[in-house]
Amino acid sequence: MPNIAFLNEVIPDRKIIDLEHIRNKQEPQGTDNKKRKVVSMYRLKELAENTILTDKYTLVYIELPKFTKELDEIEPNNILEGFFYCFRHMKMFENKPQKLKQPIWTRLFNAAQFAAMNKHEQLKYINEMNTARDIRNQIDYAREQGIEQGKSLGKAEGKAEEQQTIARNLKRMGIDSATIAESTRLPIEEIEKL
């Protein structure tokens, strides 16, 4: 079974504690392994007044040794059973099983691989990820700047073409080049070539 610290990293919004061997409740004789109760939920109760302390605090007790389903018995969208299977068999995996295709499994296996690294490997990995993110950000920024420059250049070229079209039309109307140059701000040499 994975260590509790790893589970708390993977599921940061929940606090997981190890309560191994806290219960001695026996399953009834002849209970099918596939139907054994894996998850039990408890609330704190004040015994003398027989009142629930709070509905905001629930203990969820998961007995992974009782979870005996194999991977091919788990429905693809049953995330809970997928987690049970993964946590129970995590040490045996070298790679993520093909059946676990959703992004949550990739995140889980990436976290497990990171947790299995020693501190030096973790620092190296973090530095490599930061470098990769920096490069990606630089590429994205350069792309955005290129798009902006392209738009500016396109606008300038479009404006220049528009001025040339106006100059051609004015030239056809017989207006002198000096007046056209003054109106369009094009050089007289360019107007003469039109």
Query: What's the pTM value of the predicted model, to 2 decimals?
Result: 0.47
- CA atoms of 6 and 91, how far apart (whole Å): 12
pLDDT band at 15 (very low <50, low <70, confident <90, very high): low
Q: What is the mean pLDDT of the chain?
A: 80
Q: Kindly state the tokens that stand for 129.
A: 């990820």
Q: Is residue 179 exposed (0-12), middle (13-18) or buried (19+ Cβ within 10 Å)?
A: exposed
Specify the DSSP element, H or E, that contains 49: none
**Token match 């091919």: residue?**
72
pLDDT digits (tens, 9 = 90+) for 79-123: 888 888 888 887 777 777 778 778 888 888 888 888 888 999 999
| pLDDT number for residue 120 | 94
Asked if the model's pLDDT at residue 134 lies above 90, the reply is: yes
Tokens of 183: 């109106």
* Residue 1 in this model has a pLDDT that exceeds 50: no
Distance of CA 68 to the CA centre of its chain: 31
Around Cβ 152, how many Cβ atoms within 10 Å?
10
| Phi, psi (deg, nearest 5) at residue 31 | -70, 130
Any idea where the domains of the chain sit in the sequence?
A: 4-116, 123-193
Decide if 53 contacts 45 (C-beta within 8 A): yes
Token readout for 60 is 């969820």
Alpha carbons 16 and 6: distance in angstroms, whole number: 10
Contact residues for 57 (Cβ-Cβ < 8 A; gap 6+): 43, 44
Count, residues in the chain = 194
Q: Is residue 121 within 8 Å of 36, Cβ to Cβ?
A: no
Q: Quick check: 31 pLDDT over 70?
A: no
Q: List b or e across 73-97, with b for residues whose CB sees 16 or more CB atoms inside 10 angstroms.
A: ebeeeeeebbbbbbbbbbeeeeebe
pLDDT of residue 33: 54
